[in-house]
A and B are shown apart, each in its own frame.
Chain A
Amino acid sequence: MKFPPTRYLRPVVLDQALDALNQYKGSIKVLAGGQSLLPLMAMRLADPDILLDINDLAELQEIRDWENCVEIGALIRHQRLIDDPVIQQHAPVLPLVARHIGHLAIRHRGTIGGSLVHCDPAAELPLAVQALDGEMLVQSVGQTRILPAGKFFLSYLMSAVEPHEMLTAIRIPKLMAHTRFAFDEVAGRTGDFALVSALAIVTLDDDASIQVARLAIGGVSEVPFRVYEAEQYLTDAKLTPEVIDGAASIVHQAVNPEGDLHASANYRRHLAGVLTSRVLTRVGVKGDLSWNR
């Protein structure tokens, strides 16, 4: 399992990188953490002529604290999401889900940008970005596109980033006050990709009824699945056991997963319901974490 022959570029400023993407369009591939791309190359399922190693681009390694959002450079590694105080404070959903990604060594190398562009339907970060209504900054020579999550995740292992483009940063809106959230997943083993995952983010009124609900399920469709129907159902309701059951059965109905080696379609559908009630129940109590600024 040796990597196929390739050539190598390692620019130190973003413009150089964008130029290279433009110049070698189609035969060049961005190498970020390599934790998804290199296994594919080892199995010779990917065979890029040129690898554009973006690990020296300082522009992609910043975390900026704006008024309404946190802007996270595409090259921020999973472990940094877990450890960084700004992220912990302003985008606490990310550390919560990032802990479930792979293993220590994978988290120390893999990047948020790589995970979003790779767009695995069971991956944690795309799920979180989908639920948080994150925005992606996608750059090419002389152009920047800002894509909402709904337009970024296109299909199975396919994001909206064109071959001449690069994802440079992700903007995660800060949470409203009185927001609680919970995440859960079922995976074959610790660190494996989830079979199914669920993330609930709920903002409560003063009287504890739900002002805004966001619910996303991973592993049940080509891209992380926002269950708007369930979100609507939850809005203005209180998180009683009946309401939670109701939401779970909406999810159970709404998802249309495919079966594979590890989980049948029916089991996945079942888990979507189970995990929905688990995360909503936890949110009802307190949430895995809450945001009460």
Chain B
Amino acid sequence: MEPISVVTVDMIINGRPQQYEVEARQSLADFLRDQVGILGTHIGCEHGVCGACTVLMDGVPVRSCLSLAVSASGHEIVTIEGVKDLPLGQRLQQEFLEHHALQCGFCTPGILTTMAHFVAHYPKATEEEIRDALSGNLCRCTGYHNIIAAVSAVISSRHDDAKR
């Protein structure tokens, strides 16, 4: 095995198989933006704290700034552009719209990907758990209140569905 600095990667991005040549050092975030050319994934800190770059890898949230594109080869990536195709994606987007859960919208892609995973896996989450799950996504505009309200609405609508 020889270490290499340019690598061929194969991955499924928002449902579509893709193949690219990437530099070993390239982050998944830069790869998505600069190579694939989908720009919804935002970069706010590049050291894992702000959460704006969060995407789903094999269904779970990861920081695309703290993953190498090469490491994502062989995996399935969903970005904000693919959230609408996730089971609760559109409902989440609708509640964000109705609750005014975004202002500048820069943090929103990372919040929606994280929350799309969260509402699907924690259908009974309490407000405190929602806050905890959101703790890795910084938002400087909204004061978080409406984001929490929107996520709560999705979760309680799931309860209503279950009762029906």
Residues of chain A at the chain B interface (Cβ within 8 Å):
1-11, 16, 19-20, 24, 28, 31, 34-35, 38-39, 42-43, 49-51, 53, 55, 79, 102-106, 108-109, 189-191
Distance of A5 Cα from B22 Cα, bound (Å): 12
Report B122-143 CB contacts with A as 1/0, cut-off 8 Å. Answer: 0000000001110111000000
Closest to A38 in B: B66
A11 touches B135 (CB 8 A): no
A103 touches B136 (CB 8 A): yes
Chain A residues, Cβ within 8 Å of B27: 2-3, 38
Q: How far is the CB of B158 from chain A (nearest CB, A)?
A: 18
Given contacts A1-B46, A3-B27, A109-B66, contact A103 B135 (CB under 8 A): yes
Closest 7 A-B residue pairs measured CB to CB? A103-B136, A7-B3, A8-B24, A190-B135, A105-B61, A1-B46, A3-B25
Chain A residues, Cβ within 8 Å of B1: 9, 11, 16, 19-20
How many residue pairs link A and B with beta carbons under 8 A? The number is: 107
What class of interface size applies to chain B in its complex with A?
Answer: 35 or more
Distance of A213 Cα from B54 Cα, bound (Å): 41
Distance of A190 Cα from B49 Cα, bound (Å): 12
User: Is B147 an interface residue when CB atoms closer than 8 A count as contact?
Assistant: no
Q: How far is the CB of A242 from chain B (nearest CB, A)?
A: 34
Looking at B67-75, B86-94, B97-105, B148-156, the stretch in contact with chain A turns out to be: B67-75
A34 touches B67 (CB 8 A): yes
Which positions 1-55 of chain B face chain A at CB distance < 8 Å? 1, 3-5, 7, 23-27, 30, 46-48, 51, 54
Chain B residues, Cβ within 8 Å of A55: 71
Chain B residues, Cβ within 8 Å of A11: 1
B136 touches A102 (CB 8 A): yes
Closest to A17 in B: B1
A10 touches B70 (CB 8 A): yes
Chain B residues, Cβ within 8 Å of A51: 24, 68
Distance of A39 Cα from B45 Cα, bound (Å): 10
Distance of A49 Cα from B2 Cα, bound (Å): 13
Distance of A208 Cα from B153 Cα, bound (Å): 47
Chain A residues, Cβ within 8 Å of B136: 102-106, 191
Chain A residues, Cβ within 8 Å of B137: 103
Distance of A42 Cα from B114 Cα, bound (Å): 23
A24 touches B3 (CB 8 A): yes
B3 touches A9 (CB 8 A): yes
Q: List 27 A-B contacts (CB under 8 A).
A: A1-B47, A3-B68, A5-B5, A6-B25, A8-B7, A9-B3, A10-B71, A20-B1, A20-B3, A31-B71, A34-B67, A34-B71, A35-B63, A35-B66, A38-B27, A38-B48, A38-B66, A43-B47, A51-B68, A53-B70, A53-B71, A103-B51, A104-B118, A105-B51, A105-B62, A105-B136, A106-B136
